Amino acid sequence: MSTVTTDRQDERLQNRDGLRGALADVVERARGGDLGVIPVVVGLVVIWTVLQVLNPIFLSSANLVNLTLESAAVGIISLGIVCVLLVGQIDLSVGSVSGLSGAVLAVLFVGQGLPVWLAIAAAVIMGAVIGWVYGQLFNRFGVPSFVITLAGLLAFLGLQLYVLGTKGSINLPFDSGLVNFAQLDFVPAWLSYTFAVVAAVWLFVTGYLHAQERRKAGLSAKSVSTLAVRSAALLVVLAFVVWYLGQTRGVGWMFVFFVALVLIMHYLLSRTKWGRAVYAVGGNVEAARRAGINVRAVYTSVFVLCSTFAAVGGILAAARLAAANQSSGGGDVNLNAIAAAVIGGTSLFGGRGTAFGALLGIIVIQSISSGLTLLNLDSSIRFVVTGAVLLLAVIVDSVSRRSRTSHGRA
């Protein structure tokens, strides 16, 4: 009986066409507890609507350009948090690692006079080494990632203060290419529209190839018209975003760099053997081990990626500020990076989430920060609102997880 029902469901999915079929597929997944990015998109619409009503400047082109630039550095750090959360672990030291990488960059570039590319490479390699050490401590000694990274938070904060020395702050040259990249470099309009077209075509081509593979395997797949509608919708949205941001300064190269990293990680997580191994370990580590997956290597790889992204984010944060100081990577950087990953839909239980979660989550957090700043409200309110949104995201994750379990999709 169950086999007959499954066959009928597959046949019904194959017969769906166009926009109606795409919407029906989304509704069916949502009923089964697979909400995807629906909660964060709905939350973002609500937040933007409320803030726009309270202050009409919020959705202005100038403010949204600033919002995208401010989102990039912490968003890249959050991308690393997504990786470790997917395997059911955590990294509490990303803020300290980002601050230390900014300090190393400033000392080597300004203090020692090394070429900026060499200083950047040294800071990024340092981040990768830190992640590798975390992986060894976790795999060989069984120390919980919470304890390892909490120790790292304290140790690297102290190392950051030591590297900066008695000055406590080092300014980066305003005329350097790195500072220009973070503050003043924007994509030409024609190239921005080209990126939008390429993204839409890429979505259609990859979707079409994936559908062909599923059909060859006798599985249900999206129709060509559904893929075309989805790609056309993406093109319209991206073209509008490019046009609207172009009313002032346009799309910053730093934000494009962030989005490029998100796309690369999305491909690695969804289309490679390593990505499937990450989800398998996060879903059930013992089952993954019995299936022949090198679990230790997976853990090490995600820790390395997380610390590397933290270092890259710290470099961009220093470039954005044109300085590295004792407060770099401190404050709410650590919490915002973790909160962005969770708000973006990455499960704290492991095994569920996407790279796009970092992008959506940090936009939500930065929207709250930007909107409340425009309203001249105290930072205490921002912390309360962000905490409430984070709690709501975890509640949604827990409820959807129960729903998936009841539908046999956990």
What tens digit of pLDDT does each residue of 266-301 get?
999 998 999 999 999 999 999 999 999 999 999 999
Distances in Å between the Cα of 139 and the Cα atoms of 97, 132, 287, 291 are 21, 11, 17, 18
**Token pair of 406, please?**
């009841």
Task: Please report, rounded to a whole number, the percentage of residues in the chain having pLDDT higher than 70.
Answer: 88
What distance in Å separates the CA atoms of residue 336 and residue 313, rounded to the nearest whole number? 13
Indicate the helix (H) or strand (E) that contains 93: none
Q: What's the DSSP call for residue 173? A: P
Dihedral of alpha carbons 383, 387, 393, 397, sign: positive
The closest of 81, 239, 93 to 155, measured between CA atoms, is 93
* Confidence grade of residue 331 (pLDDT, cut at 50, 70, 90): confident
Look over the chain and give the mean of its residue pLDDT values, rounded to a whole number: 88
How long, in residues, is the chain?
410
Predicted confidence (pLDDT) at residue 191 exceeds the cutoff of 90: yes
Q: What are the residue ranges of helices labelled H in 87-175?
A: 94-106, 116-141, 145-164
| Residue 306, pLDDT score | 97
- 61 in Cβ contact with 244 (< 8 Å): yes
Spell out the residues 6+ positions from residue 301 whose beta carbon is closer than 8 angstroms to its own: 135, 274, 278
Over residues 131-155, the pLDDT tens digits come to 999 999 999 999 999 999 999 999 9
Span 350-354, mean pLDDT? 88
Q: Which of the given ranges, 17-31, 225-239, 387-401, has the highest pLDDT on average?
A: 225-239
DSSP helix/strand/coil, 2: helix
pTM of the predicted structure, to 2 decimals: 0.89
> Residue ranges per domain, the chain?
59-184+274-399
